[in-house]
Structure 1
């Protein structure tokens, strides 16, 4: 078996294949189907959606604010809840991701290295405390996914103190055995530009601020733990041509399935894009010089002259990759680009919100109504 580190090295060394710009790709039509959610029915009403998974019979909706997973039939009928708020076995505190390990559904948490595995038929649950044994590391390692063979992928907790992950420009993504024994390094995820330190105009030290535009690599996983997709999306600097982003897919055994560079049309950041965000940070109690602080914020934000090319990525149930391109179109819709399991660009479509679960027959997306109430909507794909 090749190591995952070797697989990633092969991906970096292999000659990438360039793909067409989205305008040269066939446009798909989506036909609206089942809609799940309600304004006033507590059984069907949803709060913020943290993830969606669909199998042949059911739809699983992660509800972080309610610390549970809501289960519906594919026809939209409520079936049951999995989990409840708490710190005991089978309970959840801050769930922020889920996937499959065999027939069991796993749920991870945002501030604790816990994972809970649910038997979706009976509701029975097992909770484990994940611990990565990384020699010489002072970080707490947080699980990202469970691979199909039972190993774990993890990254360091985003600590902001001295030597913390936020102080670095990249994060190590590692693979461990279930007992935490380190097996390999899968990738190094760039977080360049995600966090900045602003000192001008504050009476007490520096403060950390996040940028609304970042070149941070996107890394995501197949729902069943069978593959990893990495999107290197460094924004265009106005010099190199053509403007491209890069997509790499690595399988469970560390082999590079494909590496593709895809052309896109860069979109320049308007001069007033950050005005509202800067104005919203001017009322802090420790700001002694508002003008200097606003100037420091604008300098940090203004490092990006162009928007990042990709804002979201989903791996489909069938090995496909679904990429949300930057920028909205008329009516608030966003353009999506679809790669098949070999990396060929095969389709594009438009939707106003995020695709959370998909294959080449359908997509399940999150949409918001006029009151910002979320709904899960299923669309059939017409090709």
Structure 2
């Protein structure tokens, strides 16, 4: 059913309203050299997909290789092998596709194969080498995943620049890693580029992210001392921001979240993916909580800080980020209406305690690279946004954390409603056949 709906959408490239009996209603239009694909309603999946847990690694108490201190990054091998970077050790734990522990790569240190302060960058090259970004040693460390040995170091990462932004591997095995374009500028003016690294470790060039010209609402705190200056800069909670990501096929993706629109800057012809959705309102209680948390964070830099930026908006931004699945699909992260409840960890005797009665609900919207809207996946509360999930085909690998903060890496299967219906129909048919055979006997 999903294949038929997608094919019908592809056939409607000439523009105008198009609908399939069970698929999305789509409007296609061309604006200059940009094809606009706007989903008015519906989806290929026909509803929200479920996440079904298949495999998990990580425990509160048990074998030491199953206990994680601080997961910074995950990577997945071609056969589903799971690589987990634990920055607290630091080292990479390797598990097979069924969750069985295999080996550990690296250890703390500065020598070959050793790690100092690895951050959120880890990627597997097509020949099986594993690249780990290690700003503490100002390099990328390459491992042979079979032997566990460090096989190369590429001195391309500026010392001390740690980031949660993942490494991006293109189809030709070029790696892209974030770098500061001009390190001597004030933090409020920092520009992050992407350094391209060839499969042999040589630096190709540095790409600048697309300049949207958008200046997102921000708040800022500064503190001057004899040892230097400190600055904290954050966007205003729930406000729109400009986002960019690099597609493995070799082009940028950009969007400003004041509208549900993401543009693929493909060579020759751009594609703008849009959805018609109602904005999500921010209730007064959720707004007050967000302001209290932001104020607390700013006062850790400047104890006398008072709100100095634009107010928190009445509606949430249409999306909070986007990424590219390993098969090229576009995945847009959205924040839904907050849910109010109790905060069992709130301690009013703590000087800077903030009662967190509101929790966010997050979801992922999936699109094909032709703009076809596949559908939405609701994320369980325990799924963490950092490090970002790895998505490939019908599977998603994500880091989770329970109420005690115990981290796990879980492989989920994405199950659309159509798959549930097919399974139910098959089960009913099997039961019917069994009943017929019993009657015949």
Q: TM-score, normalising length from structure 2?
A: 0.65
Distance 2:207 2:50 in 1: 42
Distance 1:111 1:194 in 2: 32
Q: 1:98 aligns with which of 117, 122, 140?
A: 122
Distance 1:40 1:341 in 2: 43
Match of 1:6 in 2: none
Inter-CA distance 112–263: structure 2 relative to 1 (3 Å threshold): farther
Distance 2:268 2:84 in 1: 32
Inter-CA distance 364–57: structure 2 relative to 1 (3 Å threshold): closer
Q: Is the 8 A contact 2:216 2:242 kept in 1?
A: no
1:86 CA drift (Å):
1.8
Instruction: Give the secondary-structure state (helix, strand or coil) at the position aligned to 1:65.
Output: coil
| Structure 2: gaps of 5 or more residues | 1-30, 340-358, 417-441
Match of 1:276 in 2: 292
Match of 1:381 in 2: 414
Please give the root-mean-square deviation of Cα atoms over the aligned residues, in Å: 4.1
Inter-CA distance 229–49: structure 2 relative to 1 (3 Å threshold): farther
Q: TM-score, normalising length from structure 1?
A: 0.74
Q: Is the 8 A contact 2:322 2:332 kept in 1?
A: yes
Q: 1:322 aligns with which of 331, 356, 363?
A: 331
Match of 1:116 in 2: 141
| Structure 1: gaps of 5 or more residues | 1-10, 133-139, 236-242
CA deviation vs aligned residue, 1:28-83 (integer Å, no higher than 9, x gap): 23322212110012221123322322331411122222222211111111111112
Distance 1:116 1:191 in 2: 36
Q: Is the 8 A contact 2:135 2:162 kept in 1?
A: no
Inter-CA distance 40–208: structure 2 relative to 1 (3 Å threshold): same
Q: Is the 8 A contact 1:169 1:192 kept in 2?
A: no
Question: Relative CO higher for 1 or 2, CA cutoff 8 Å, sep ≥ 6?
Answer: 1
1:368 CA drift (Å):
1.5
Q: Is the 8 A contact 1:172 1:188 kept in 2?
A: no
Instruction: Give the secondary-structure state (helix, strand or coil) at the position aligned to 2:84.
Output: strand
Match of 2:278 in 1: 265
1:167 CA drift (Å):
3.3
Matched residues, number? 346
Distance 1:141 1:256 in 2: 35
Q: Is the 8 A contact 1:98 1:107 kept in 2?
A: yes
Match of 2:260 in 1: 244
Match of 1:15 in 2: 35
Distance 1:118 1:229 in 2: 29
Match of 1:340 in 2: 368
CA deviation vs aligned residue, 1:139-174 (integer Å, no higher than 9, x gap): x99994343435443443287x7624x333754445
| Larger strand percent | 1
Match of 1:8 in 2: none
Instruction: Give the secondary-structure state (helix, strand or coil) at the position aligned to 2:66.
Output: coil
1:362 CA drift (Å):
1.7
Equivalent residue runs for 1:155-166 within 5 Å: 155-157=178-180, 163-164=185-186, 166=187
